[in-house]
């Protein structure tokens, strides 16, 4: 399968990365080279093989459903590019 | 011998025995760090931090922790409280975490200080350190008779360069698909990636969470054991952290490999690999035989599929992990755009470098509707087969020996094709996909005077055999070569 210019534009949109047509032009052959190469996995017979999700077998631990931290608003906001009135500020989303 | 010429084990006993003070050690290192700007290994220098830990160690008079007064370099992927943590990315410039990673917290509890943050490939995506927003780290090594700048490998290139140039006695690294082992090989030092889950990922900037694992880089096998013991340990804040006691790797170090079987995987014999590397591999087998081990040929039939599997799984996880860089909570924000969506897209366009964008695009593609099963689920199935290959192999052997990398260090700018760059990790990636402990130790120099590494892979949780076989090689290789100081 190969990625078209339009598909690449769509992927960039999904990934929320602004890209000019020139950038996409450069990227498309690179993506296709990588995708073409990983497609060799198709030749591996994986019938009946469960997808690996945990590389080292272990039980997922449960913890009590309790608040374990909090009251650190200043810490949470300390690195925000813009914080106002104790909140993260973003460009206006509602007119 | 100068203080910066000593191993961590030697510094530890010297400080404990009062032969020299921890402050003298920290001062010596701070001076060498300040004098090595040409290597571009450190992104931030923290001489006061190293001195404070040294003073605490001197006051404790030998009663401090296992790393009392030892100053270390910390890869920029580890969150360090109040100190810039940027993962080598423009998008995190200026980020000062209000918290400390578990691994560095553990090192601090053991008494270690911090010399500074070490340069790396952006978000640990690279094998040459050239993707860093701070520019490439330069290796202290040069080809004989040449002054072409060489890469120290990546992504833990700053760590490799610093340890090799003696501007840190040891450093933290992280390894997702070879990022500790390949740079260790290029720089003529030791580096171990433990079993997945040994070191907490809490506070390590995430790249591919099912693969990311921290480990130490140092000059000797013993120093790696000392550092790993301090770094490892259960952490409830990491859901994949192993709830197991930390073994006494240092106390149990032994290069006696009697009754041990060393697996030699035939699939790792690749024609395109330089003859010198295969010759070193043969020498490695002889050294392990000399230590009492018996070589056995093994087969890891899915080896050739490891890299393509990795280049589906790692970008997929990365595209998800890096979704958090949105210009809202931390790091860069691009202004001058009208809508929230445009702000996200503009911020990420300006903040991420070319390799990171490429991997996010691949990851987004393989996870997108209609392609998920064909790529991502397929890769997870092949990953299961790769894991099975190792499980079967470890029925026949106790440790596996291979070369670490398919070449010695290359020049900055010499490898421009992304696929050619990915091939650097051909020998390192299978163990990552299987979550196994693996280590690189220096084996010798190639014809151009550059270090080559040997690679040991152990079964799950068996870091000890990896360290022991590493020690056996270290004792026999007699690797004492040092880069001539030009920086």
State pLDDT tens for residues B419-437.
Answer: 999 999 999 999 999 999 9
For residue A69, the model assigns a pLDDT of 86
B 33-62 residues inside an 8 A Cβ radius of A: none
Q: B224-227 contacts: CB < 8 A, separation 24 or more?
A: B224/B170, B224/B190, B224/B191, B224/B192, B224/B439, B224/B467, B224/B470, B225/B249, B225/B250, B225/B253, B225/B467, B226/B8, B226/B9, B226/B12, B226/B66, B226/B67, B226/B250, B227/B8, B227/B67, B227/B72, B227/B107, B227/B170, B227/B172
For residue B153, the model assigns a pLDDT of 97
| CATH number for the domain whose boundaries are A5-42 | 1.10.20
Q: B20-24 contacts: CB < 8 A, separation 24 or more?
A: B21/B54, B21/B58, B21/B69, B22/B53, B22/B54, B22/B55, B22/B57, B22/B58, B22/B68, B22/B69, B22/B70, B23/B51, B23/B54, B23/B55, B23/B58, B23/B69
Q: Does B209 touch chain A (CB under 8 A)?
A: no
In the residue annotation, B132 being an active-site residue is answered as no
The domain locations on chain A are 5-42
A 24-83 residues inside an 8 A Cβ radius of B: 27, 30-31, 33-35, 37-42, 44, 46, 49-56, 58, 60-61, 63, 72, 75-76, 78-82
Q: Is B385 helix (H, G, I), strand (E, B) or coil?
A: helix
Contact in structure between B461 and B424 (CB atoms under 8 Å):
no
Size of the A and B interface in Cβ pairs below 8 Å = 165
Of B203, B121, B213, nearest to B175 by C-alpha is B213
Mean pLDDT of B184-211: 98
Of B241, B123, B132, nearest to A56 by C-alpha is B241
Is B199 part of a structural domain of the chain? Answer: yes
Is B387 part of a structural domain of the chain? Answer: no
Is B156 part of a structural domain of the chain? Answer: yes
pLDDT of B413 higher than 90: yes
CB contact under 8 A, B305 and A27: no
For residue A68, the model assigns a pLDDT of 86
CB contact under 8 A, A44 and B385: yes
The domain tally of chain B equals 1
CATH code of the domain covering residue B150: 3.90.1300.10
* Selected residue with higher pLDDT from B63 and B308: B308
CB contact under 8 A, B236 and A75: no
Peptide bond connecting B287 to the previous residue in cis, omega within 30 degrees of 0? no
DSSP code string of B422-462? HGGGTTTHHHHHTT--EEEEEEEE-TTS-EEEEEEEE-TT-
Strand partners, B154: none
- Beta strand spans in B76-189 (E): 113-118, 170-175
Per residue in B265-297, pLDDT (tens digit) is 999 999 889 999 999 999 999 999 999 999 999
pLDDT band at A95; cut points 50, 70, 90: confident
Q: Exposed (0-12), middle (13-18) or buried (19+): which is B227, by Cβ within 10 Å?
A: buried
pTM for this prediction = 0.97
Is B67 part of a structural domain of the chain? Answer: yes
Mean pLDDT of A75-88: 96
| Beta-strand pair B438-445/B399-403 | unpaired
Mean pLDDT of A20-29: 96
Q: What is the arrangement of strands in the sheet containing B170-175, beginning at the earlier edge strand? A: B42-45, B113-118, B71-75, B170-175, B213-218, B190-193, B438-445, B451-458, B399-403, B261-265, B294-298
Question: Percent of chain B having pLDDT more than 90?
Answer: 97
Question: What is the DSSP code (8-state) at residue B13?
Answer: H
Q: B104-108 contacts: CB < 8 A, separation 24 or more?
A: B104/B74, B104/B78, B104/B79, B104/B80, B104/B172, B104/B203, B105/B203, B106/B230, B106/B231, B106/B232, B106/B233, B107/B67, B107/B72, B107/B172, B107/B227, B107/B230, B107/B231, B108/B53
* Helix B102-109 / helix B221-231 crossing angle, nearest 10 deg: 110
Determine the Cα angle at B478 with ends B477 and B481, to 5°. Answer: 110
pLDDT band at B401; cut points 50, 70, 90: very high
B 290-319 residues inside an 8 A Cβ radius of A: 302, 305, 308-309, 311-312, 319
The domain in which residue B218 lies consists of 3-255+473-477
Q: How far is CA B375 from CA A34, A40, A78, B310, in A?
A: 12, 11, 39, 11
Nearest CA in chain A to B459: A56
- Beta strand spans in B344-450 (E): 399-403, 438-445
Closest Cα of chain B to A53: distance in Å? Answer: 7
Q: Which residues of A touch B339 (CB under 8 A)?
A: 91, 93
Mean pLDDT of B113-138: 98
């Amino acid at each position: 399968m190969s990625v078209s210019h339009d598909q690449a534009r769509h992927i960039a949109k999904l990934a929320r990365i602004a890209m000019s047509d020139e950038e996409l032009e450069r990227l498309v052959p690179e993506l296709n080279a990588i995708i073409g190469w990983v497609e060799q996995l198709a030749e591996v017979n994986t019938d009946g093989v469960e997808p690996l999700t945990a590389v080292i077998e272990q039980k997922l631990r449960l913890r009590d459903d309790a608040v374990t931290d909090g009251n650190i608003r200043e810490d949470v906001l300390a690195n925000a590019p813009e914080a106002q009135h104790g909140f993260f500020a973003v460009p206006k989303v509602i007119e | 011998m100068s203080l910066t010429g000593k191993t961590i084990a030697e510094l530890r006993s010297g400080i404990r025995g009062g032969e020299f003070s921890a402050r003298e050690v920290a001062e010596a290192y701070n001076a060498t760090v300040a004098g090595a700007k040409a290597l571009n290994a450190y992104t931030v220098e923290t001489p006061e931090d190293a001195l404070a830990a040294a003073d605490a160690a001197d006051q404790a008079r030998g009663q401090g922790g296992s790393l009392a007064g030892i100053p270390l370099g910390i890869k920029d992927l580890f969150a360090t409280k109040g100190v810039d943590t940027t993962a080598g990315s423009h998008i995190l410039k200026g980020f000062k975490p209000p918290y400390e990673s578990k691994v560095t917290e553990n090192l601090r509890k053991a008494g270690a200080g911090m010399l500074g943050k070490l340069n790396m490939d952006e978000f640990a995506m690279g094998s040459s350190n050239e993707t860093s927003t701070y520019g490439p780290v330069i290796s202290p090594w040069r080809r004989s008779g040449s002054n072409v700048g060489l890469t120290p490998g990546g992504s833990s290139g700053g760590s490799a360069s610093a340890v090799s140039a003696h501007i840190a006695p040891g450093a933290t690294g992280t390894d997702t698909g070879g990022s500790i082992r390949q740079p260790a090989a290029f720089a003529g030092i030791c580096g171990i990636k433990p079993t997945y889950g040994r070191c907490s990922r809490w506070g390590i900037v995430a790249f591919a969470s099912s693969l990311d694992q921290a480990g130490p880089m140092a000059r000797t096998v013993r120093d790696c054991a000392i550092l790993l013991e301090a770094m490892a340990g259960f952490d409830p804040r990491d859901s994949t952290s192993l709830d197991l006691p930390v073994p006494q790797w240092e106390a149990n170090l032994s290069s006696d490999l009697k009754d041990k079987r060393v697996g030699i995987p035939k699939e790792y014999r690749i024609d395109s690999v330089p003859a010198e590397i295969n010759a070193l591999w043969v020498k490695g087998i002889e050294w392990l035989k000399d230590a009492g081990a018996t070589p056995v040929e093994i087969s890891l039939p899915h080896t050739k599929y490891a890299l393509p599997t990795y280049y589906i799984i790692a970008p997929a996880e990365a595209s998800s992990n890096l979704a958090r860089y949105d210009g809202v909570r931390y790091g860069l924000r691009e202004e001058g755009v009208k809508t929230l969506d445009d702000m996200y897209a503009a911020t990420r366009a300006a903040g991420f470098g070319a390799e990171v964008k490429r991997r996010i695009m691949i990851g987004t593609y393989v996870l997108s509707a209609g392609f998920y099963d064909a790529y991502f689920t397929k890769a997870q199935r092949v990953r299961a087969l790769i894991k099975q290959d190792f499980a079967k192999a470890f029925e026949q052997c106790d440790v596996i020996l291979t070369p670490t990398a398919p070449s010695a260090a290359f020049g900055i700018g010499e490898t421009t094709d992304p696929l050619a760059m990915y091939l650097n990790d051909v020998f390192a990636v299978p163990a990552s996909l299987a979550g196994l402990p693996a280590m690189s130790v220096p084996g010798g120099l190639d014809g151009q005077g550059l270090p080559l590494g040997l690679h040991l892979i152990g079964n799950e949780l068996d870091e000890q055999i990896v360290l022991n076989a590493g020690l056996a090689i270290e004792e026999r290789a007699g690797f004492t070569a040092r880069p001539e100081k030009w920086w």
